[in-house]
Amino acid sequence: MITLSAFADEISPDLSEAIGVLKEKGLGTLDLRGMAGVNVMKFTPEHAKAAKAVLKREGMAVGSIATPIGKVDITDAFEPQVGQMMKAVELAQAFGSRFIRVFSFYMPKGGEPPKKWRKDVLDRMGKLMDLVKVKDVTVVLENEEGLYGDTIERCVDVITSLKDPRLKLAWDPCNEIILGERPYSDTYATARKHLSYVHVKDWNRDRKEMVPAGQGSAEWDKTMGALKGDGWAGIMALEPHLSAAGKFSGFTGPALFGEAHAALTGLLKQAGIEYR
């Protein structure tokens, strides 16, 4: 059975308001990326305490600590990323989350091939994984344009090269469209072998706009059928970006989130996938 989640700050910067919408849709899990306009990596002890109180009161679980770790240039100083990973592990423990979302560093502009930076990426990712010294915490690596792991092939290169069972893939099919790839046709077979998390949004290539899942070019119908056939049972998190999309966050709002949720659950039902 798939567990449905959603990036709470896609709905509202007010965590209580966001949870109200999620519970109305029957969701009991959220991804924690930010609250009150503050990124999770900038949470003070007071932020964390306030968020925990709301989550406990509402009976909500945290699917992932959705960090921006690794969303910096590969040539930038590495020490701040070390500090962020240590904090992310602490937050995962504090919020009872089993997953930490990370990225694989931006490549320098100038047209140099990513393979030139492969060793540096693997070295940094390996050091970040060494900081995860607690049990039951999995780091999920997301694919996104401009990073070493913009393609699923290079994300999998990092995962298989490090040979750490705690490092898995957070697959965002929509992020592949901008690279000209067909998410199901070109990469599903590779992604599936390492898949722990799926992010759900969609992009209509012809209209050049974000749309609810299944209404764009991300091949969601084919992917859902394949996930059903494979019996995949991870976390699927809505991140629709229907109102705005930025480097470190996006926004959808309560009304459009309802449309995004309806589109996703419609695809799941069509594929015969059970969810909670």
Give the pLDDT score at 134: 86
Give the pLDDT score at 246: 81
Interval 175-195 mean pLDDT: 95
Q: Is the pLDDT assigned to residue 159 strictly greater than 90?
A: yes
Q: Output the CA angle 265-270-275, nearest 5 degrees.
A: 45
Give the pLDDT score at 56: 97
Q: What would be the CATH architecture of the domain defined by 3-271?
A: Alpha-Beta Barrel (3.20)
Interval 178-205 mean pLDDT: 96
Nearest by Cα to 242 from 231, 230, 254, 234: 254
Give 251's pLDDT tier (boundaries 50, 70, 90).
Answer: very high
Q: Is the pLDDT assigned to residue 244 strictly greater than 90?
A: no
Give the pLDDT score at 110: 81
Residue 126 phi, psi (nearest 5): -65, -40
Give 111's pLDDT tier (boundaries 50, 70, 90).
Answer: confident
Q: Is the pLDDT assigned to residue 112 strictly greater than 90?
A: no
Q: Is the pLDDT assigned to residue 133 strictly greater than 90?
A: no
Give 126's pLDDT tier (boundaries 50, 70, 90).
Answer: very high
Residue ranges covered by each domain of the chain: 3-271
Interval 222-250 mean pLDDT: 94
Nearest by Cα to 196 from 161, 154, 240, 227: 227
pLDDT tens digit sequence for 214-227: 999 999 999 999 99
pLDDT tens digit sequence for 46-69: 999 999 999 999 999 999 999 999
Q: Is the pLDDT assigned to residue 129 strictly greater than 90?
A: yes
Q: Name the percent of the chain lying above pLDDT 90.
A: 93
Give the pLDDT score at 248: 82
Q: Is the pLDDT assigned to residue 131 strictly greater than 90?
A: yes
Give 271's pLDDT tier (boundaries 50, 70, 90).
Answer: very high
Helices (H), 131-253: 152-162, 173-177, 188-192, 220-230
Give 40's pLDDT tier (boundaries 50, 70, 90).
Answer: very high
Interval 171-200 mean pLDDT: 96
Least reliable range by pLDDT among 66-75, 104-113, 189-198, 265-274: 104-113
Question: DSSP letters along 34-73, please?
Answer: EETTEEGGG--HHHHHHHHHHHHHHT-EEEEEE--TT-SB
Q: Is the pLDDT assigned to residue 109 strictly greater than 90?
A: no
Give 247's pLDDT tier (boundaries 50, 70, 90).
Answer: confident
Cα separation of 74 and 116, whole Å? 11
